[in-house]
């Protein structure tokens, strides 16, 4: 039996744009796509940490190094610039495939630049003091 598992996640990205007039999708900085091993037109789920909304869409490649996270089309009603989101992709695995499976977890700062979890924790702790 196959089960669904988290394959990749970009954690706490900041929405940079929301364009309701664009025809669907999520435009994402190519560097973030590479870091999370996401491909153009791959389905993703988006969880809006700020507003609580959830939706599914697909990825469109954005300019490398731009930090762009643009919610397009109807989904633009579910997120606004400045909202924090989680972008998740899933896969199906058999039980015997789990031993070697490791999901790709990508953490980003407020500019949507990849950072380590330790760097993120240190920044959060420094801001709280």
Nearest partner of 9 among 80, 118, 91, 68, judged by Cα:
91
Phi, psi of 54 (to 5 degrees): -135, 140
37 lies in which domain range? 2-128
Distance CA(89)–CA(10), nearest Å, equals 9
Highest mean pLDDT among 79-83, 98-102, 121-125: 79-83
Q: 19 to each of 3, 33, 65, 75, 84, how far by Cα in Å?
A: 34, 20, 20, 9, 16
Strand order, beta sheet including 114-115: 17-19, 69-72, 26-29, 54-62, 43-48, 84-94, 2-14, 104-108, 114-115
Distance CA(22)–CA(120), nearest Å, equals 32
At residue 66, the pLDDT reads 97
pLDDT over 50 at 128, yes or no: no
For 23-37, what is the mean pLDDT?
Answer: 94
Task: Look up the CATH number of the domain holding residue 79.
Answer: 2.40.40.20
At residue 129, the pLDDT reads 37
- Measured in residues, the chain has a length of 129
Catalytic residues: 25, 58
State how many domains the chain has.
1
pLDDT over 80 at 126, yes or no: no
């Amino acid at each position: 039996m196959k089960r669904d598992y988290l394959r990749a996640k970009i954690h706490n990205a900041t929405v940079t744009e929301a364009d309701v007039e664009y025809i669907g999708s999520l435009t994402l900085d190519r560097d973030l796509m590479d870091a999370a091993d996401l491909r153009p037109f791959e389905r993703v789920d988006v969880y809006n940490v700020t507003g609580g909304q959830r939706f599914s869409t697909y990825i469109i490649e954005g300019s490398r190094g731009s930090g762009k996270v643009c919610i397009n089309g109807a989904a633009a009603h579910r997120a606004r610039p400045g909202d924090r989101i989680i972008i998740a992709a899933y896969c199906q695995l058999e039980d015997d495939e789990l031993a070697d499976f490791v999901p790709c977890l990508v953490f980003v700062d407020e500019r949507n630049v990849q950072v380590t979890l330790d760097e993120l924790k240190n920044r959060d702790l420094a801001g709280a003091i």
